[in-house]
Amino acid sequence: MVTPPTTDDEPTETDPSAGPHAHVTDGPGGTETGSGSGTTAAAVCGDGVVEGDEQCDDGNLELHDDCLPGCVDARCGDGVLWAGVEACDDGNLDDHDTCTSACQPAACGDGVVQLGESCDDGNLDDHDACTGSCELATCGDGHVWLPFEDCDTEGDTPTCDDDCTPAQCGDGHVNAAAGEQCDDDNKVPFDACTHECQHATCGDGLLWEGAEECDDGNLTPGDGCESDCTIPPKYAAYSPKHNLVPRSPPAVRCFRPSRPRDQGVWVFVLYAGGCAGTRDLAGFL
């Protein structure tokens, strides 16, 4: 009698869902093993299919578009320039270097104080506290800081003092560019600095109180007011003018009245002082 051969192999079963070439065999411990189209392939960046850990996959490995090699999304601060979107990308989001956190070049007027800027108020207005060059507004910078400056000409000019106020005689600031020789902070015509900010001098027609006895606007001697602006001991002129200037004890007080006489200058000599009185008490030169 012939005995049929024996084997330790278990019978195989065909899995109809696995396809005609796939077979599932009970392995050790009852696990299933197989082969064929049922296995999962690794994700491939650049194949145009977002899979696995990919954030994006645009079908290429272009460095400067919105999906970087490695299939990660392009973003500001990644150190790669995103063409058409970013103007710069320095690999960080620091707003105080040359490339801002918006990946745009740092510039005066962007509202961020960069290295080399004293201020940045987000505009290029030259007339506020931060100028269009991102410097703090100061008198003398050539820009009128409103409403704190009236003018700004970077120094004295005929119209503007170097403290950024209008040039005017009597403001206490000597502005040579405006033709001032002096400025004693008043517009009194009878002191050492006249109301026109000129040094008081004999012959200017203005009586310098305490220094001159008279001033008839000239330096002509023998006309009742000498060339040193003193009154002679006695002066008389016999003519329709009836000039008479006694020396003592009068005080010279006034000049340039409304009715001009003799070079347009009157010198009143009043015994009672002041400018009141009659022509009988006044001599004119």
Q: How far apart (Å, rounded) are the C-alpha atoms in residues 196 and 201?
A: 13
- Confirm whether 273 is domain-assigned: yes
- Confirm whether 237 is domain-assigned: yes
Closest CA to 93 of 106, 111, 84: 106
* Domain span including residue 237: 222-285
Report the pLDDT value the prediction gives residue 194, as an integer from 0 to 100.
94
Q: How far is CA 48 from the centre of its chain?
A: 53
- Confirm whether 90 is domain-assigned: no
Q: How far apart (Å, rounded) are the C-alpha atoms in residues 60 and 3?
A: 67
Q: How far apart (Å, rounded) are the C-alpha atoms in residues 192 and 105?
A: 61
Tell me the pLDDT of the chain (285 aa) as tens digits: 445 455 454 444 444 444 433 334 444 444 444 444 555 678 899 999 999 999 999 999 999 999 999 999 999 999 999 999 999 999 999 988 889 999 999 999 999 898 889 999 999 999 999 999 999 999 999 999 999 999 999 899 999 999 999 999 999 999 999 999 999 999 998 899 999 999 999 988 888 888 988 787 889 887 767 899 887 765 544 333 333 343 334 444 343 344 444 443 444 444 334 333 334 334 444
Report the pLDDT value the prediction gives residue 174, as an integer from 0 to 100.
98
Structure tokens belonging to residue 24: 């599932």
Is the separation of the CB atoms in 120 and 110 below 8 Å? Answer: yes
Tokens 């960046």 sit at which residue? 45
Is the separation of the CB atoms in 208 and 190 below 8 Å? Answer: yes
- Confirm whether 256 is domain-assigned: yes
- Confirm whether 4 is domain-assigned: no
Exposed/middle/buried for residue 196 (C-beta within 10 Å: 0-12, 13-18, 19+): middle
Strands 269-270 and 67-68: unpaired
Structure tokens belonging to residue 4: 């049929």
Closest CA to 156 of 166, 146, 147, 145: 166
Look up residue 176 and give its DSSP letter.
G
- Confirm whether 268 is domain-assigned: yes
- Confirm whether 132 is domain-assigned: no
Report the pLDDT value the prediction gives residue 234, as an integer from 0 to 100.
58
Q: How many domains does one find in the chain?
A: 1
- Confirm whether 191 is domain-assigned: no
Q: How far apart (Å, rounded) are the C-alpha atoms in residues 130 and 137?
A: 5
Closest CA to 178 of 187, 190, 168: 168
